[in-house]
Each structure stands twice: as structure tokens, then as C-alpha cells.
Structure 1
């Protein structure tokens, strides 16, 4: 059983202003992401997100460098949520992954 009620979850999301859509828009705008898929794993309260981010900005960067880039881009948003798990790909890596390779 969840410690939070639906009302508490909604109030938390409204007060932080952070949603999958706001995160997606920020990543598209600031990282020129070509594909962003964000899932709210917290049941709608906006406290736990998992993301697939595809951006040419990740080219020639290690996984750690990619995560740092994303985390710096979403610094304020990440400070207001409980958990954030990004998976970062270049457009070429994403096409290969989608192709089943």
C-alpha cells in the first residue's frame, strides 16, 4: 500500500510543476533531442522518472559524460524529484537499437 494518497500525489506534482511533458520539452529544447520517451514510474505523483533520450549532443561522449550532460541540463528539475534514470543514445545508436541489433 502506498504511503501517499492520490490527493497527496496530485498536490506534489502540481507544486513541483514537474511532469514527463515538462522534462521532455526541456530536453528537446536544450539538448536538441530528436527522441525523448519519459515514463513516470511513481504512479503519477511526479517523483520517479525513467527516460530514453536520443540526441546528437551525445556523440563521442562516454555514458558518464552523457548522464552528466543530462543531469546538468535538468539540475533544478532533478533536485525536486526523488529518482531519475536516463538512458542516453546518439541517433545512430538509437536506430541500431530499434533495428534489433
Structure 2
């Protein structure tokens, strides 16, 4: 599994999402996922939404995925803070 494939799976599974996925060992990855559908949801629910896009690959082809999940507004505010 590579970072680009994970990015595609997340973006295809969460309409309107933008994902930035990093990782170079093939099993451990980090992702920033920005999606309007996260609005009003707690972090655990957001993470579950992302994991659902990856299905059975989690725990198999993808051993670990560290997630940061933000709404577009949260992402803008975070960038403004630097």
C-alpha cells in the first residue's frame, strides 16, 4: 500500500474530502483529512468515517494510520495560527 492509494481511497469514500497522506515504509501512515462532513462530529466519529473508507485494509495492508481530521473552517483557523 502506498500513500497515494490511501489518499485516493479516502477522497473517493468521503465526497468533498481533501487528504494529505504521508508514509514511506508501506504500513505506517499519517493523514490530514479535511472534510465538511466532519462538522458537529467528535474526533472518534470522524476517525471512524475515515477508517470506513479503507475497510479491511486497516489492520492488514495498513498497519497504522495516525489521523488528524478537520472541517474546512478548522483547517483555515489552524493555518492562520501558524
TM-score by length of 1: 0.72
Q: 2:9 aligns with which of 26, 31, 39?
A: 26
Equivalence for 1:97:
78
Structure with the bigger RCO (C-alpha within 8 Å, sep 6+) is 2
Instruction: Quote the Cα distance in structure 2 between the aligned partners of 1:55 and 1:94.
Output: 9
The CA RMSD over aligned residues, in Å, is: 1.5
The number of equivalent residue pairs is: 81
Larger radius of gyration: 1
Deviations 1:40-99 (A, max 9, x none): 0xxx33110010000111011001110111112212221322211111000110011111
Q: Which runs of 5+ in 2 are unaligned?
A: none
